[in-house]
Amino acid sequence: MKKNFLFTSESVAEGHPDRLCDTISDAIVDRFLQQDPYSHIVTECALSKGIVFVAARFASKATVDIPDLARQVVGAVGYRKEDFNAAECTVVTSLMAQPLDQRYEWDERELTDKELDRITVRNQITQFGFACNHTAELMPFPITMANRLARQLTVARESKTIPYLSPDCTTQVGVDFESGKPKRIQSITLIAGPQGGDQIDAAQLRADLLDQVINPAFASEAIRPDDETDIFINPRGTFPKSGPAAHSGMTGRKSASDTYGGYARHSGSALSGKDPCRIDRVGAYAARYAAKNVVAAGLADECEVQLSYTIGQARPVSIQVTTFGTSSIDEYTIKNRLEECIDFRLGAIIRKFGLRSLPSQFKGAFYRMLPAHGHMGASFTELPWESIDIVNRLR
């Protein structure tokens, strides 16, 4: 395994069209589950200048005004009306209502072990979860910092410390590794233009971003930018337009920044826009939970957990554990301990993390917060799959 290398991860702010599509899709999931926690809902979104397209198929007792909800999400991002007018944009929908018997109307908390086997997956997927000891949240350092910079850009805009920023920004962080550990920040790139293409002095923009974005993002880190770190601010110049006025978006196109920034494998499947019965979403959360607990227990410095599911089965058809030569015990033993401590059946995952009830607990805004704040690691709240509650049992 290579020990000395440079690795770069990127992320985007909440106004990036792809991220906005993820947020719209998850806002729809939230609203359905808030009204009917047994809803089966899958939705995708695409948008461009002045238009939002939403496709959804659902089996639910809920009644959701999808166009109005999409406009609410777009309006909350903070674009100027000249760039994207939420009130006047066209919302096109393609909706497919399915029979209510397509729902799993069972409360997993009340089911017996045998009854949980009746909740089978409806699609096949190989999902991956990963954890490492680069950061306190046991995530790879490059994506942790890329995500933190993206959130700090939003903070600077919303707090009006940099009021002219567009909601559509991109971040990238390159990290030098030595002996498999983060050593120094090699480069930082921020694509952060002003709203509406207003002319802002490049030197002023750079000073503002250093003071209000980069320095606060790294303030609590031992590894920070140094005098030799390359800091690129809009290296191709300021874009005259941003957001949907400049480029289109689609649900699921930011899978790398949703997971591990490319540092570790992921399935490529979209996480957003899917209810808890979709194993291609919740399987990613279960795999992350397993991998994080292995690292938190001190059994390995890095751990990847692979879960493979097939249609019509309740439990994974295969489970693999890889520790990249960093474990204190053999991988077969770790795999056996995980299977003893975690029930990887679909119904058990839903029950363990309370996935149906989270939208109601967070007043209809749980899943919609994940795209911008992070599906993995530190997010807007303590995510249930980020718990390290089985470390003692794993030891």
Question: Cα angle at 239 between 234 and 244, to 5 degrees?
Answer: 120
CB 94 within 8 A of CB 137: no
CA dihedral 240, 245, 247, 252 (to 10 degrees): 140
Plot region of 219 (φ>0 → left; ψ -120 to 50 → alpha; else → beta): alpha
Q: At what angle do helices 346-353 and 279-296 cross, to 10 degrees?
A: 70
Residue ranges in the chain whose pLDDT is less than 70 = 1, 196-198, 240
In sequence order, the β-bridge partners of residue 91 are 52
Tell me what pLDDT residue 246 has.
83
Q: Kindly report the pTM of this predicted structure.
A: 0.95
Query: How many CA atoms are closer than 13 Å to the CA of 355, on its beta-carbon side?
Result: 25
CB 8 within 8 A of CB 187: yes
Distance CA 300, CA 286 (A): 18
5-11+141-241 matches 125-134+254-264+276-394 in fold? yes
Tell me what pLDDT residue 83 has.
82
Tell me what pLDDT residue 230 has.
98
CA distances (Å), origin 329, targets 139, 248, 285, 356, 393: 21, 48, 24, 36, 15
Tell me what pLDDT residue 236 has.
84
Distance CA 210, CA 91 (A): 38
Helix (H) or strand (E) holding 207: helix 202-209
Residue keyed to tokens 């920034």: 261
What is the DSSP pairing of strand 51-59 with strand 40-48? antiparallel
CA distances (Å), origin 45, targets 50, 82, 91, 232, 288: 14, 22, 10, 32, 26
Domain boundaries in the chain?
A: 5-11+141-241, 125-134+254-264+276-394
Two structure tokens written together for 268: 């490529």
Distance CA 74, CA 76 (A): 6
Tell me the residue length of the chain: 395
What's the CATH code, domain 5-11+141-241? 3.30.300.10
What is the percent of the chain with per-residue pLDDT over 70, rounded to a whole number?
98
pLDDT in tens, 370-382: 999 999 999 999 9
Phi and psi at residue 49, to the nearest 5°: -60, 115
CB 240 within 8 A of CB 195: no
Tell me what pLDDT residue 343 has.
97
pLDDT in tens, 78-115: 888 888 889 999 999 999 999 998 888 888 888 988 99
Phi and psi at residue 21, to the nearest 5°: -65, -40
Distance CA 118, CA 105 (A): 12
pLDDT in tens, 296-333: 999 999 999 999 999 999 999 999 999 999 999 999 99
Given this structure, which CATH class describes domain 125-134+254-264+276-394? alpha beta
CB 260 within 8 A of CB 147: no
Closest CA to 59 of 23, 95, 112, 30: 95
CB 333 within 8 A of CB 363: no
Our measurement of the distance from residue 181's CA atom to the centroid of its chain's CA atoms, rounded to an integer in Å, reads: 24
Q: How far apart are the first and last CA of the chain?
A: 26
What are the b/e assignments for 229-241, b being 16+ CB within 10 Å? beeebbeeebbeb
pLDDT in tens, 118-130: 999 999 999 999 9
